[in-house]
Amino acid sequence: MKIAFIGLGNMGAPMAQNLLKAGHELTVFDLNTEAVQSLVAAGANSAPSPKAAATNAEYVITMLPAATHVRSVLTGEEGILAGIAKHVTIIDSSTIDPASVKAFAELAKQNGNTFVDAPVSGGTGGAAAGTLTFMVGGSPQAYEHVKPVLAAMGKNIVHCGDTSTGQVAKICNNLVLGITMAGVSEAMALGEALGIDPKVLGGIINTSTGRCWSSDTYNPFPGVIETAPSTRGYTGGFGTDLMLKDLGLATDAAKFARQPVFLGALAQQLYQTMSTKGAGKLDFSAVIKLYRKNGDA
Ligand code: NAD
């Protein structure tokens, strides 16, 4: 397939590499020329704009930080919609709000194109290994159409429902994640203050009813899980600022739906405090620093 790929960051670059490995013909664009150069070295073509990248493409994929970037890459003078052929599908894998997805899908429709939301979970490790989960929002036909392309980058390709339901799934999952990480942090720090060995406490939680991913895979207390970011100084994981962005998407969507998110709003304030203290680039499990007596956040 001829595929245009826009946004070669921590996630987009390894995803694009996997498309090349699967034998697709790739044309890439990013504002960061170094990121473009490493894809060109791996066999991709580069284009001077999203518009140029989209010309002749059979699929267009975007992997950008936030909705504002997707809007400019899509609708700008040199944007995708200015260059894309009719009936070509645009797949956006960025994590953005459901309302923006619906607006972009409408703009694409007016241009004769289909816009599918397909956010991912699995992190940079999953992107490199080609084992991402894609949460796809769109018609059943659109889902069937994008599935073979997404299969080169992911292991689970799930149809969530109509346009924007992929983002709904992504936002709700990360709402749970932000809350459980704060909960595990609270419990681990309390246990430490009351004098139990954190490794013993972690082991008990992980074989008891408090067990969850934030506890048994990504425990925020250093040394409890050897492979967790907490054990390597909270580096190389899912950034606090990205978690803050996702909780913002959840609380905004909840406002729109007139739906309470008591714990999500509180968790948002915790990660915001971390960000204000200059810890936005640390893995989000560093939120435990707000609880520990010797925490430096
Ligand atoms: P990133 O900041 O590493 O990469 C974004 C890329 O987009 C950069 O290379 C940047 O130069 C490029 N870009 C920005 N504006 C552009 C424009 N106008 N035109 C062309 N290129 C532009 O971000 P990331 O970690 O790759 O995340 C991308 C998306 O995936 C985000 O929405 C994020 O929330 C989501 N996500 C990230 C992870 C993760 O673990 N990092 C996991 C799941 C989902």
pLDDT digits (tens, 9 = 90+) for 236-264: 888 999 999 999 999 999 999 999 999 99
Residues 138 and 177 in one domain: no
Residues 14 and 146 in one domain: yes
CA of 83 to the centre of ligand 1 (A): 22
Is 269's pLDDT higher than 60?
yes
Q: Return the ligand 1 atom nearest residue 64 CA.
A: 7
Residues 110 and 30 in one domain: yes
For the domain that residue 127 is a member of, what is the CATH number? 3.40.50.720
Residues 252 and 269 in one domain: yes
For the domain that residue 180 is a member of, what is the CATH number? 1.10.1040.10
Residues 52 and 119 in one domain: yes
Residue 125's pLDDT band, with cuts at 50, 70 and 90, is: confident
- Domain membership flag for residue 240: yes
Question: Which residue range forms the structural domain that includes residue 225?
Answer: 168-290
- Domain membership flag for residue 295: no
- Domain membership flag for residue 266: yes
Residue 297 pLDDT: 57
Residues 123 and 59 in one domain: yes
CA of 93 to the centre of ligand 1 (A): 9
- Domain membership flag for residue 66: yes
Per-residue pLDDT reduced to its tens digit, 169-211: 999 999 999 999 999 999 999 999 999 999 999 999 999 999 9
C-alpha to C-alpha distance for 70 and 224, rounded to whole angstroms: 39
Cβ neighbours for 135, distance < 8 A, ≥ 6 positions apart? 117, 118, 119, 120, 121, 158, 160, 165, 166, 167, 169, 170
Residues 179 and 98 in one domain: no
Residues 173 and 266 in one domain: yes
Q: List active site positions.
A: 170
The mean pLDDT value of the chain amounts to 96
pTM score, two decimals?
Answer: 0.93
Residues 237 and 102 in one domain: no
Q: Is 6 in the pocket of ligand 1 (CB under 6 A)?
A: yes
